[in-house]
Amino acid sequence: TYVVTENCIKCKYMDCVEVCPVDCFYMGEATLVINPDECIDCGVCEPECPAEAIKPDTEPGLEGWVAFNSKYAALWPNVTEKGDPPPDAADWDGRSGKLEAVFG
Ligand code: SF4
Ligand code: F3S
């Protein structure tokens, strides 16, 4: 599966949702996630993310993000159309510590 990781938080560019063939993105206030049970591993979304936040779970160290994506995909609504990113998205792009700052 592919997962959305930290740099999506507060950036939410949403280019990813437009290209997913199985519509498996889910949206919270601050970030999006991929439902790992629905993702067919096509990889199409990865290069579309301007924040480079989408990664294959075969990359080392992403276990926590797989769990995060799985948890919130069950709680948040499905999203299939690109919306406007937050006005301050560029300010947050590339910052560290976003997970703790936003999700405690
Ligand atoms: Fe959708 Fe493919 Fe990205 Fe999985 S890898 S979330 S199926 S676009
Ligand atoms: Fe987030 Fe990148 Fe999609 S910033 S909303 S994963 S395009």
Fold of 2-81: Alpha-Beta Plaits (3.30.70)
Q: Is residue 27 helix, strand or coil?
A: strand
Among 2, 9, 13, 79, say which to mutate for ligand 2: greatest number of ligand atoms within 8 Å of CB: 13
Closest residue to atom 6 of ligand 1, CA basis: 39
Q: Is the ipTM of this complex over 0.95?
A: yes
pLDDT in tens, 77-95: 999 999 999 999 999 999 9
**Residues in a beta bridge with 24:** none
The 10s digit of each residue's pLDDT in 16-69 is 999 999 999 999 999 999 999 999 999 999 999 999 999 999 999 999 999 999
Our mutation pick for probing the ligand 1 site, out of 32, 42, 72, counting the most ligand atoms within 8 A of Cβ, is 42
Indicate whether this model's pTM tops 0.95: yes
CA–CA distance, 73 with 8 (Å, rounded to integer)? 15
Q: Which amino acid is at 99?
A: L
Closest ligand to the CA of 84? 2
